[in-house]
Amino acid sequence: MSRAYFQPAALEEALRIRRDNGEASLLAGGTDLVVAMRHDRGPAGDVIDLSKILELKGIQEIADSTPVTVNGIHKMTGKIRIGPMTTFTEIMESQLLREAAGILCEAAETVGSPQIRNRGTIGGNLCNASAAADCITPLLCLNAAVELQSLGFDGSKCTRILPLETFLVDSKKTDLRSDEILTGILFQRPAVDMSFAFQKIGRRNALAIARLNGSCAIRLAGNTVTSLAFALGAATSKPERIERAEEYLTGRELTDEDLAAVGKRAAEYVLEQTGVRASSSYKLPVIERFTASLIRAAAERSTTL
């Protein structure tokens, strides 16, 4: 095998190597790629190790001009930017994320084991694009976007910003082009009256790939749902928002009957997408209950209830 191994120290150098080595694999935390390489299942091309590029690490908030007041609380609004080489441990330990988008910290806590969380990155999670990736459904509910950069042959930098749901094409397939690198994950700091929940079902607590995971973002006026984002992972071929569940519940009172009804709609959607599978007799009833429980959990955290 004649792979070349590149370890660029700066993003621009990485983009140049990427441009000139279209078949190269990007190495982030290595928790998927190194296993694949070891079992000769990995891609055969060159490897570009992104782990030394400081520009791809870190979490920051780019504040907007004016704070807003909601329910008497002054809040800064801003865009949060997560570097793709930020590890799950760094996400869990980020005070900024804990306060602004705690759902992402909760999801990161459920990934693998401490050793995996110390190496695995959020960018790797998105680009590997497993249907069971734990950090994707929270980002879908946060309406996150991805920033993708490439370098032209004339040296000009090209940036594309795509909604995360467009970036995710199918299981293990993204819209990342062979000359592009994911350079940022962006979302607006959620309004203070939104409440969130993340849940996951796995065979055991540690080192479990999700059999089902999901996220919910809800806003209530009294007991009436005024806005709902709801996404499931490991249910269909990619993590996705379940629009018919969102549409059904928006504008309704949050009752046990309607929660059961919304669970049925989520399960129906999954059945339409996947057809009947060996796992259906387990998964479909679980999706019904899981959906209701997840939306209930998000609602229970609402300050307006």
Partner 1 sequence: MKKTKIQFVLNGKSVSMDVDPETTLLSLLREELFLTGTKEGCGSGECGACTVLMDGLAVNSCLVLAPQINGTEILTIEALETDGKLDRLQQSFIDHHAVQCGFCTPGMLMSAKALLLKNPRPTQEEIRIALSGNLCRCTGYQNIIAAVEGAVD
Please report how close the Cβ of residue 286 comes to partner 1 at its closest, in angstroms: 24
Interaction mask 132-171, partner 1, x per CB under 8 A: ----------------------------------------
Q: Using the rule CB under 8 A, which residue among 7, 60, 227, 274 binds partner 1? A: 7
Q: Using the rule CB under 8 A, which residue among 24, 26, 27, 133 binds partner 1? A: 27
Q: Using the rule CB under 8 A, which residue among 21, 60, 118, 237 binds partner 1? A: 118
Contact 4, 48 (CB under 8 A): no
Window of 30-38, 150-158, 169-177, 297-305 that interacts with partner 1 by CB under 8 A: 30-38
31 binds partner 1 (CB under 8 A): yes
115 binds partner 1 (CB under 8 A): yes
Cα separation, 195 vs 106, in Å, equals 13
C-alpha triplet 32, 38, 42: angle, nearest 5°: 60
Q: Using the rule CB under 8 A, which residue among 22, 43, 67, 114 binds partner 1? A: 114
251: left (phi over 0), alpha (psi -120 to 50) or beta: left
Choice between 80 and 132, CB closer to partner 1: 132
Window of 67-75, 149-157, 200-208, 285-293 that interacts with partner 1 by CB under 8 A: 200-208
30 binds partner 1 (CB under 8 A): yes
Q: Using the rule CB under 8 A, which residue among 2, 65, 71, 95 binds partner 1? A: 2
User: Smallest Cα–Cα separation from 14: which of 107, 88, 85, 98?
Assistant: 85
Please report how close the Cβ of residue 158 comes to partner 1 at its closest, in angstroms: 28
Cα separation, 186 vs 254, in Å, equals 31
The residue written with tokens 């459904």 in the block is 137
Residues 291-303 as b/e (b if ≥16 CB within 10 A, e otherwise) read bbbbbebbbeebe
- Which residues, in sequence order, are CB contacts of 122 under 8 Å at separation 6+? 82, 84, 86, 87, 88, 91, 108, 135, 185
35 binds partner 1 (CB under 8 A): yes
Please give the single-letter amino acid code of residue 264.
Answer: K
Q: Using the rule CB under 8 A, which residue among 116, 192, 271, 286 binds partner 1? A: 116
Q: Using the rule CB under 8 A, which residue among 54, 58, 113, 161 binds partner 1? A: 113
Window of 25-33, 70-78, 249-257, 285-293 that interacts with partner 1 by CB under 8 A: 25-33
- Which residues, in sequence order, are CB contacts of 190 under 8 Å at separation 6+? 100, 101, 142, 196, 217
175: left (phi over 0), alpha (psi -120 to 50) or beta: alpha
76 binds partner 1 (CB under 8 A): no
Q: How many CA atoms lie within 13 A of 250 on its CB side?
A: 13
- 240: enclosing H helix or E strand: strand 240-241
Choice between 51 and 250, CB closer to partner 1: 51
How big is the chain, counted in residues?
305
Choice between 78 and 112, CB closer to partner 1: 112
Write out the residues near partner 1 by the rule CB under 8 A.
1-5, 7, 27, 29-31, 34-35, 37-39, 47, 49, 51-52, 89, 112-116, 118-119, 205-207
